Amino acid sequence: MSNRSKSNIRRLKNRIQDITNNISRLYSRTFRRTSTSAIDTVDIDLTRVGNVSVDAIGATESTRVGNVTEMSNLEIRDQYEDWTREYAQRNLKWLEDGVAHEKYVMDEKIDVWHIATEMFIFPALRQLLNDTLPNRTFVNGVEIGCGTVTFFDHLNIENPILVDLAPDYCTFMASKGWKVLNENIENLSIDSDSQDIVVCSETLNVVLSLETALKEVERILTPDGIFLVNVPWEFELAEYDGMLGSHLREFNEHNVEEKFPRWDILARGIIPQTVKPNGIPTINLILARSDVSSSN
């Protein structure tokens, strides 16, 4: 074989190698999300969850454009992320246009969308934490699914980090000076055993896989770390228009222990519907890893 042919073959081989590398890079980026988990079909009643376009939110009749049970995991994940992103954009637009308070049926203008959490859930959670662990202080903490508000406005810690899946909420919170990560609770870049406190307000009810989310929280918490949670309480999904990105699972007296199988509930405080401007009953929970608290 001539030198020229040999060099042509070498060039061709290099080209094929480049193409293969590019394909595998693209593949790993595209499918990164699927490596996190399967959806908790046991935990979520998927037969009730419709896929509703964001334009339909707030309309009296919502448009069901397909059933989640017919979609693949990857399609569900994509739809979920799109929905979460669009919902955040819509809420922030309402804030920007100065009409968010009307959506919450309030007289005063508001500068955060998650006003009910800010007004009622966080003050009650702060009180519950004081009552349960009066002398406890925290250095590193993460709030996941912060939206437009954060518990770290109510609890001073040295190194707070906020996380949200919706990029626009991240930009909003970063503009207020917070350190923010645009990530999924199911796949966090935060170091293991690094956080003394993790907060999830009204987020575990919407995530696709509760099991994976809880495993991630367990991973990043120090062994004696504290997990603060708020979720809707004794609230039937059937009363709600089940939507991807919205309430996906119920928490009630019968299932709350099962939902947190590797956790001890140190304290709980119910916040009744009446105290929220536009709200549903919720519960604040203070959790600790059961493998640690039971061995103490």
Ligand X SMILES: C[S@@+](CC[C@H](N)C(=O)[O-])C[C@H]1O[C@@H](n2cnc3c(N)ncnc32)[C@H](O)[C@@H]1O
According to DSSP, the residues that pair with 110 across neighbouring strands are none
Window 163-202: contact mask with ligand X (x via CB under 6 A): xxxx--x--------------xxx--------------xx
Return the residue of 79, 84, 140, 212 that touches ligand X, per CB under 6 A: 84
Rounded least distance, CB 15 to ligand X, Å:
40
CB of 98 closer than 8 Å to CB of 81: no
Instruction: Determine if 206 is a binding residue for ligand X (CB under 6 A).
Output: yes
Instruction: Determine if 203 is a binding residue for ligand X (CB under 6 A).
Output: yes
Residue of 46, 40, 33 whose CA lies nearest to 78: 33
3-state helix, strand, coil in the chain (%, to 5): 40, 20, 40
Tell me which stretch binds ligand X (CB under 6 A): 51-59, 141-149, 154-162, 221-229: 141-149
Rounded least distance, CB 163 to ligand X, Å:
6
Instruction: Determine if 79 is a binding residue for ligand X (CB under 6 A).
Output: no
Select 92 or 226, whichever has its Cβ closest to ligand X: 92
Select 64 or 85, whichever has its Cβ closest to ligand X: 85
Instruction: Determine if 128 is a binding residue for ligand X (CB under 6 A).
Output: no
Rounded least distance, CB 23 to ligand X, Å:
28
Residue of 184, 122, 128, 130 whose CA lies nearest to 154: 122
The residues in 143-162 that bind ligand X, with binding defined as CB under 6 A, are 144-147, 149
CB of 149 closer than 8 Å to CB of 112: yes
Can you say how many angstroms the Cα of residue 163 is from the centroid of all Cα atoms in its chain?
Answer: 8
β-strands 159-163, 140-144 pairing: parallel
Instruction: Determine if 51 is a binding residue for ligand X (CB under 6 A).
Output: no
Select 163 or 288, whichever has its Cβ closest to ligand X: 163
Select 124 or 166, whichever has its Cβ closest to ligand X: 166
Return the residue of 117, 195, 212, 284 that touches ligand X, per CB under 6 A: 117
Beta strands in 14-95 (DSSP E): 50-52, 64-67
Select 104 or 169, whichever has its Cβ closest to ligand X: 169
Rounded least distance, CB 135 to ligand X, Å:
26
β-strands 282-289, 221-232 pairing: antiparallel
Type and span of the H or E element at 282: strand 282-289
Provide the sign of the torsion angle of the four alpha carbons 170, 173, 177, 183, taken in this order.
negative
CB of 61 closer than 8 Å to CB of 50: no
143 three-class SS = strand
- The count of residues interacting with ligand X (CB under 6 A) is 22
Cα dist from 210 to 3, 5, 22, 81, 275, whole Å? 61, 58, 34, 16, 27
Task: List residues near ligand X by CB under 6 A.
Answer: 84, 88, 114, 117, 144-147, 149, 163-166, 169, 184-186, 201-203, 206-207
